[in-house]
Structure 1
Amino acid sequence: MAVLAVQAIRRMRGGAQGHLMLGADGEAYVVKFQNNPQHIRVLANELMATKLARALGLTAPECDVVEVTEWLIENTAELSVEHGRERQRCVAGLQFGSRLVGGLMPGQTMDYLPEEQLREVKNLGEFAGMLALDKWTCNSNGRQAVFHKRPREKRYQAAFIDQGYCFNAGEWKYVDAPLRGVYARNLVYEGITGWDSFEPWLSRLEEFDPGIIWGIAETVPPEWYGGDPSAIERLVEGLMVRRGRVRELIGEFRESSRQPFPKWGKAQENVVKGGFGLPGWADDVSGPVM
């Protein structure tokens, strides 16, 4: 059952032009609407990839389907989105909602930290796990994260947000390239010394129960993908196949011009499951479409 939105609080930044809204459950949600300027499928991408991240044990906000009524839209002037020079009212119905990191309680949430503070992030190692998930789900955007700490805490914790461009955004095709789905700053990857740095998330991903993936897909409202069950079936089938390619895709990023893993020794054998060496890829060359 969807969470009912009862109040619009403010417009949020970002390409999907989401709105911060209060749900009937008392929680604050960043809500992305079906007629957002990116694509209606970004709602499905957000719901699926965020739930997959949480199932792997990564720090992503809780999320849900949020119902926004016609009455609330008609009585809230700011509930609109811009398409170029045209402004449209947000459409009523089922939308995607991500819990606001930190909620509305006092605290501090940042989308950028100076280098010294970034190094001290409590769960910095999770960037390796999120890299694995982004490669698995073919995130065609840069990895986004926000950092939150409670009052009197000294260190921030990262929360991974904005999964709308997973599955190649509205395309729902798996087109891979080494520098897709990675965080902009190499610092978050400096602690990676080998495949052990991706645990336990990588092993969980490779052994992910297909039943859980299908269960997550079934929570996506059909209107978010045009009501065509074959489209989401193909998406999930491709996702299951890709569990066996994630190490290869990470290896392509490792060999890219970014050189993101300076502590992963050059002499260490670069091996994927099955004993095959990882090829080097040029940054501007896409991998296979699956």
Structure 2
Amino acid sequence: MAVLATQAIRRMRGGAQSHLMLASDGHPYVVKFQNNPQHIRVLANELMATRLAEAVGLSVPASEIVEVTDWLIQNSKELSLDLGQTQEQCRPGLQFGSRLVGGLMPGQVVDYLPEERLAEVKNLAEFFGMLVIDKWTCNSNGRQAVFYKRPREKRYAATFIDQGYCFNAGEWKFVDAPLRGVYARNLVYRGVVGWDSFEPWLSRAEELDPQKIWSIAEIVPPEWYGGDLAEIETLIERLLERRSRIRELITLFQESSRQPFPNWMTVSIGAIERQFPEPSWADTIRGPIM
């Protein structure tokens, strides 16, 4: 069920030339249009990858299908796209909307933090979980995030945005590379000490109910992928198969020239405890056998 766009506010930065719009539910959305300069499938990618990240418990904006009418486009000078030497009106119909982080009320949203502030981000460990999603969905772009704090708060929280290049953008092919889909700054990964650091997100992704994944794909408007059901079905089938490769893909990043996990322990504490359990009370008093 789509929400209706009621007002165009301004054009946003970025290659997709999104527009900030107010919708009938009272929320502002960053709206990507079908005829954006990147690819129509980035709308499908945004919706599916954002909902997958949400399903495993990561901080992503609320996402909606937004209907933009021809009347609104004709009566809003802002709703156009720059396509090199030409300009084109935004196409009416169903678009992808990502709810604006922080809303329109006063607050503070930034897309860059200095090292000392970045290290203090409340949910910094969620970068580990988002790496799971980016590797699983083959995000061919760098990981994007914005940071928000309310007035009087000292620490920011990260929200993960811009999933349009998951599934290798418009190609819907899984072309993996160690440095794809990762955040530009290693600091966010310093807290990784082993596989336990990726929990609970890793297990949730690996064990996510296939029906949940199919239900996410089913809400994607057919016009966002050309109406060929076989193509989106093939994409989801391969996505389901790839769950068994998430650890392998993270390992390739771990072994890359970035060396992103300097604190990775070869053997986790949990594994040591299982291998060498604490002696029971009886063992401590039994003494040697003579």
Describe how 1:183-222 pairs up with structure 2 within 5 A: 183-222=183-222
Residue type of the alignment partner of 1:183:
Y
Which whole-Å deviations, capped at 9, do the CAs of 1:189-219 have from their partners, x for residues lacking one? 0010000000000000000100000000011
Q: For 2:62 and 2:156, locate their aligned partners in 1 and report how far apart those are by CA, in whole Å.
A: 18
Task: Answer yes or no: is the 8 Å Cα contact 2:6–2:72 preserved in 1.
Answer: yes
Describe how 1:124-273 pairs up with structure 2 within 5 A: 124-265=124-265
Q: For 1:126 and 1:172, locate their aligned partners in 2 and report how far apart those are by CA, in whole Å.
A: 26
Q: Quickly say closer, same or farther: Cα 1:194–1:267, change in 2 above 3 A.
A: closer
Aligned residues: 270
Give the secondary-structure state (helix, strand or coil) at the position aligned to 1:67.
Answer: strand
Residue type of the alignment partner of 1:97:
G
Describe how 1:54-73 pairs up with structure 2 within 5 A: 54-73=54-73
Give the secondary-structure state (helix, strand or coil) at the position aligned to 2:236.
Answer: helix
Q: For 1:122 and 1:80, locate their aligned partners in 2 and report how far apart those are by CA, in whole Å.
A: 38
Runs of 4+ residues deviating >2 angstroms: 265-269
Task: Answer yes or no: is the 8 Å Cα contact 2:136–2:243 preserved in 1.
Answer: yes
Q: For 1:88 and 1:222, locate their aligned partners in 2 and report how far apart those are by CA, in whole Å.
A: 23
* Cα RMSD for the two superposed structures: 1.2
Q: For 2:78 and 2:10, locate their aligned partners in 1 and report how far apart those are by CA, in whole Å.
A: 8
1:276 alignment counterpart: none
Give the secondary-structure state (helix, strand or coil) at the position aligned to 1:48.
Answer: helix
Deviation at 1:170, TM superposition (A): 0.1
Q: For 1:20 and 1:176, locate their aligned partners in 2 and report how far apart those are by CA, in whole Å.
A: 32
Q: For 2:89 and 2:250, locate their aligned partners in 1 and report how far apart those are by CA, in whole Å.
A: 41
Structure ranking higher in helix proportion: 2
TM-score of the superposed pair, with normalisation by structure 2: 0.92
Q: For 1:144 and 1:268, locate their aligned partners in 2 and report how far apart those are by CA, in whole Å.
A: 30
Deviation at 1:162, TM superposition (A): 0.0
Q: Quickly say closer, same or farther: Cα 1:16–1:233, change in 2 above 3 A.
A: same
Unaligned stretches of 5+ residues in structure 1: 272-290
2:86 alignment counterpart: 86
Q: For 2:141 and 2:242, locate their aligned partners in 1 and report how far apart those are by CA, in whole Å.
A: 18
Give the secondary-structure state (helix, strand or coil) at the position aligned to 2:98.
Answer: strand
Q: Which has the larger radius of gyration?
A: 2
2:21 alignment counterpart: 21
1:50 alignment counterpart: 50
Residue type of the alignment partner of 1:68:
V
Give the secondary-structure state (helix, strand or coil) at the position aligned to 1:65.
Answer: strand
Deviation at 1:83, TM superposition (A): 1.4
Task: Answer yes or no: is the 8 Å Cα contact 2:194–2:266 preserved in 1.
Answer: no
Deviation at 1:267, TM superposition (A): 6.8
Give the secondary-structure state (helix, strand or coil) at the position aligned to 1:245.
Answer: helix
Q: For 2:44 and 2:267, locate their aligned partners in 1 and report how far apart those are by CA, in whole Å.
A: 42
Deviation at 1:248, TM superposition (A): 0.1
Residue type of the alignment partner of 1:171:
E
Could you tell me the percent identity over the aligned residues? Answer: 74
Q: For 1:144 and 1:46, locate their aligned partners in 2 and report how far apart those are by CA, in whole Å.
A: 13
Which whole-Å deviations, capped at 9, do the CAs of 1:164-192 have from their partners, x for residues lacking one? 00000000001100000000000000010
Q: For 1:22 and 1:265, locate their aligned partners in 2 and report how far apart those are by CA, in whole Å.
A: 48
Q: For 1:148 and 1:85, locate their aligned partners in 2 and report how far apart those are by CA, in whole Å.
A: 36
Which whole-Å deviations, capped at 9, do the CAs of 1:97-143 have from their partners, x for residues lacking one? 00000111110000000000000000000000000000000000000
